[in-house]
Amino acid sequence: MRIGLNLVLSVSATEVDLAKEFFNMTQKIISYINLSAKRKTILSDMQLNDPAKLRVIHLPDHCEHKWNFCERVVSVICSRYSHVVATLVELAKNGKKDEHFGSSSPKILGWGHSRFTAINS
C-alpha cells in the first residue's frame, strides 16, 4: 500500500504546477548550498549559533521520483527554514557576486519566470 501511495504522491507532485515549482526551487536551493563547502559551512554555523537547535541537520539530496525523499526535503527545509534563508541572505551580502543564488545565471537557477519573478523583483 505504501508503495502505491508513494507513486501517487510522486506523480501528483510532478503534475501540479505549484508543487512542481516548489520542489524544483527546493532542489535548486539544496544543490546551491550543498555544492560548496563554504556554503554548507555557513548553513551549519547558522544552526550551531541557534541555542534552540540541538544539532546540525544537513540538507538531503533530492530525488523527484521517490516521495520519501521529497517528504524528507520538506521536513528539513521546514525545520531549518530560517537558517536556510539566513544562509542565502549572508551569501547575498558577503558572498562573491558571481555566486549569488539566482543572480548570475537566472535560467539555470530558475529565476526570471513564473511566480518567482514577482517574488524576486
pLDDT tens by residue, 16-27: 888 888 888 888
Taking the C-alpha atoms of residue 41 and residue 19, their distance in angstroms, rounded to an integer, is 29
pLDDT band for 114, please (50, 70, 90 cuts). very low
pLDDT for 118 equals 38
CA 110-112-118 angle, 5° bins:
115
Q: How far is CA 62 from CA 49, 51, 90, in A?
A: 26, 28, 24
User: Which residue from 89, 93, 27, 105 is spatially nearest to 60, judged by alpha carbons?
Assistant: 27
Q: How far is CA 118 from CA 11, 24, 45, 121, in A?
A: 27, 17, 30, 5
Q: What is the mean pLDDT of residues 89-104?
A: 72
* CB-based contacts of 53, cutoff 8 Å, min separation 6: 47, 80, 83
Instruction: Tell me the pTM.
Output: 0.69
pLDDT at 55 exceeding the cut of 60: yes
